[in-house]
Amino acid sequence: MIKVAVFGALGRMGRETVSAIRADEDLELTWAVDVEARDEGLTVLTDDVVETRVTGSVESLQSDLPDVMVDFTRAEEAVRNVLWSLDKGIHCVVGTTGIGEDDLGLIRARAGEGTANAIIAANFAIGAVLMMRFSEAAARYFDMCEVIELHHRKKLDSPSGTAIATAQRIAAVIDPEGPSPSREDSVEGARGGSVGPVRIHSVRLDGLVAHQEVIFGSTGQTLSIRHDTTDRSCFMPGVLMAVKVIADIPGLTIGLEPVLDL
């Protein structure tokens, strides 16, 4: 039985993760941590689950250490949670997006010390991982590419971590000297932001969950590769898979591909 802690347990992804862990017979939920927890006692997480301990401070959780923590919080908070956990020998599965390069360096160094491992994945949906892989493959054969990512309006970071990761992978393959579009923007930002030669456009609307379309263009043809998330449960198979194998993947792993053996 793997003991698991969830950080951000009262958030949208945290609640989904708590439910998924509780439903998995190989996993035991030991802590549910959230800064929004009002007290140190029992908190109702779902209609039928009342016995999970929810606490706002990890300092009060020194006993019954978990084997693995899952973090779905906010970038700067996640870094603190992860460094604290690695120090305690707790493996980390991190879905929180927006963690910067400097912080990744800190986590890489700490995970490299050998006491605990970490995986940071901008997207745990297996379909999204395949979308990135297929996009990287297509980039060799097309001249131009733009990414449109669409999310619910409460998403904090723009563009999404998945869009940045996708664009970086395409930019590493696509010809940087390819054709450039004519430029005359009458509305600032109309052409989105750039990761190398790849443009990213972020849409934020109620009614959306998480969606991304990668559009490649070349003479006389386009190719669209699209992934749609219609429910947050889609992230859970990837999260549970990572929780179960993280002890065997030394150091810091970025992305879900090594877990999926892609």
Which residues of the chain form contacts with ligand NAD (CB under 6 A)? 7-8, 10-14, 33-36, 72-74, 77, 81, 95-98, 121-124, 235
Q: To which residue do tokens 């956990």 refer?
A: 85
Residue whose CB is less far from ligand NAD, 216 or 235: 235
- Distance between CA atoms of residues 161 and 155, nearest Å: 11
Q: Give the helix/strand (H/E) hosting 21.
A: helix 12-22
Give how far Cα 49 sits from Cα of 13, 40, 45, Å.
16, 16, 6
Q: Which residue is nearest to ligand NAD (CB)?
A: 11
Helix (H, G, I), strand (E, B) or coil at 127: helix
Residue whose CB is less far from ligand NAD, 107 or 144: 107
Residue whose CB is less far from ligand NAD, 73 or 166: 73
CB of 116 to ligand NAD, least distance (A): 18
CB of 156 to ligand NAD, least distance (A): 7
- Distance between CA atoms of residues 257 and 262, nearest Å: 5
- Distance between CA atoms of residues 170 and 167, nearest Å: 5
- Distance between CA atoms of residues 221 and 49, nearest Å: 52
CB of 44 to ligand NAD, least distance (A): 14
Written as one letter, the residue type at 123 is N
- Distance between CA atoms of residues 151 and 55, nearest Å: 29
Question: Cis peptide before 176, with omega less than 30 degrees from 0?
Answer: no
Separation of CA 183 from chain center: 33
Which one of 151, 152, 154, 201 is the catalytic residue? 151
Residue whose CB is less far from ligand NAD, 82 or 170: 82
Q: To which residue do tokens 């006692």 refer?
A: 41
Q: To which residue do tokens 């039985």 refer?
A: 1
Which one of 3, 152, 154, 155 is the catalytic residue? 155
Residue whose CB is less far from ligand NAD, 144 or 234: 234
For residue 66, give the nearest of 94, 92, 46 by alpha carbon: 92
Identify whether 88 is a catalytic site residue. Answer: no
CB of 75 to ligand NAD, least distance (A): 6
CB of 29 to ligand NAD, least distance (A): 15
Identify whether 155 is a catalytic site residue. Answer: yes
List active site positions.
151, 155
